[in-house]
Amino acid sequence: MDEWLVRVRSAGLAIAVALLAAAPFSAPAIATPDALQSWNEGDAKRAITDFVAAVTTEGSADFVPPGERIATFDNDGTLWSEQPMYVQLAFALDRVRAMAPDHPEWKDKEPFKSVLANDIKSIAASGQRSIAEIVAATHAGMTTAEFEKIVTGWIATAKNPKTGKLDEAMIFQPMLELIAYLKANGFDVFIVSGGGVEFMRPWAERTYGIPAENIIGSSIKMKYHSDATNPTIVRLPEVDFVDDGAGKPVGIQKFIGKRPIAAFGNSDGDFEMLEWTTTGPGRRLGMIVHHDDALREFAYDRTSEFGRLDKALNTAPQRGWNVVSMKNDWSRVFPDKEGQSAPRQ
């Protein structure tokens, strides 16, 4: 986009500049009804368009200059489906199965034994330590380039075990429209996810239109190996940063260094990000995607193993956070590339 603009300028198109000067500078850049076409008319859609109009209208008390228009999105459950389990967990379990032939000892060693026996309940019950062991075994001990290749290969065919659809097809069309709408209105859009940053980067740029450098997530430590012709960065089996809960505002400060003016989440893991965003000075937008659509996606909240939404749902009204009903606020859930079926009203 910038490059195109530079060509406009270097070509000396004074005519364009003159015409622009005449354009109403106070109007939001793109606020056509079509920009959010998968959003039904209602409170949620209105909260978004009102907010964007307010912060982009020069001279308005709520005006925010473009460089400060920071919007952050959770990923799992906010931009794509997280049921019946986080996609990255499915990836880790698949990796255990793929690596098992080289690890005969895993047959008798937990948590790998349960994974190989497909006993997901036992893994879930065995807690954080088991998950950490699985992550260490499957996400570390290779170079960053090798890991990127593994993720890229895996995601190309990875399917949701319930729906049989590709995981990458189970992204939320209304959120894609929201991201594009915010970007068109001068927002810098970031993903702030509890998921692993290097698990997201290989596909998220293509899938969501959010570049790798705008993706913040959990990470493990890394080490640089100097070499005159082929240096590498190796992934170590040690947690570096957990970008979840109270870690999200810290991640935002570490990686962006600016306080967001809009934040979008779907679970209690997003509580602190929503709080940090909406308690800042000036006009703010906090939004929670509520999964209440068993027919088109999944219905879950207070008792779910993945993406539990309880405290944030209780607090939303008093904090002024908007709760989006997937069922009522979205006319379409998925991009549905195969067939482009008419959106459900």
Provide the binding-site residues for its own copies, judged by CB under 8 A.
Answer: 1-8, 10-11, 13, 15-16, 19-20, 23, 29-30, 66-67, 144, 183-186, 188, 197-198, 201, 205, 211-215, 219, 222-224, 226-231, 233, 240, 246-250, 253-258, 271-272, 275-276, 279, 319
If the CB atoms of residues 272 and 329 are measured against its own copies, the closer one turns out to be 272
Supply the minimum distance, in Å, between the C-beta of residue 322 and its own copies: 17
**What one-character DSSP code corresponds to residue 160?**
-
Nearer to its own copies, 12 or 339 (CB): 12
The two tokens of residue 142 are 């290779």
CB of 176 to its own copies, least distance (A): 18
* Least spacing, CB of residue 179 vs its own copies, in Å: 14
Residue 276 or 298: the one with the smaller Cβ distance to its own copies is: 276
Q: Determine which helix (DSSP H) or strand (DSSP E) holds 167, and give its type and residue range.
A: none
What letter represents residue 73's amino acid?
F
CB of 214 to its own copies, least distance (A): 8
Q: What is the smallest separation between the CB atom of 48 and its own copies, expressed in angstroms?
A: 17
Closer CB to its own copies, residue 271 or residue 334?
271
**Least distance CB 221 / its own copies (angstroms):** 8
Total Cβ atoms within 10 A of residue 70:
21
CB 178 within 8 A of CB 199: no
Q: What gap in Å lies between CA 217 and CA 201, rounded to an integer?
A: 10
Task: Note whether 266 and 291 are within 8 A (CB).
Answer: yes
Secondary structure of residue 48 in the 3-state scheme? helix
Of residues 165 and 258, the one with the C-beta less far from its own copies: 258
Whichever of 139 and 291 has its CB closer to its own copies, that residue is 139
Q: Which is nearer to its own copies, 44 or 273 (CB)?
A: 273
Q: How far is the CB of 160 from its own copies (least distance, A)?
A: 26
Return the H-helix or E-strand segment holding 221: strand 215-225
Least Å distance, CB 315 to its own copies, is 8
User: CB of 131 within 8 A of CB of 122?
Assistant: no
Nearer to its own copies, 174 or 202 (CB): 202
**How many alpha carbons lie under 13 Å from residue 280 in its C-beta half-sphere?**
23
Question: Residue 234: phi, psi to the nearest 5?
Answer: -105, 140
Integer Cα distance of 114 and 126 in angstroms:
10
Tokens of 295: 């027919």
Give, for 72, the enclosing helix (H) or strand (E): strand 70-73
Asked if residues 250 and 158 have their Cβ atoms less than 8 Å apart, the reply is no
Rounded Cα gap, residues 175 and 107, in angstroms: 42
Strands (E) across 260-325 are located at 262-265, 285-290, 322-325
Least distance (Å) from its own copies to the CB of residue 120? 30
Residue type, 97: R
- Pick between residue 160 and residue 277 the one whose CB is nearest to its own copies: 277
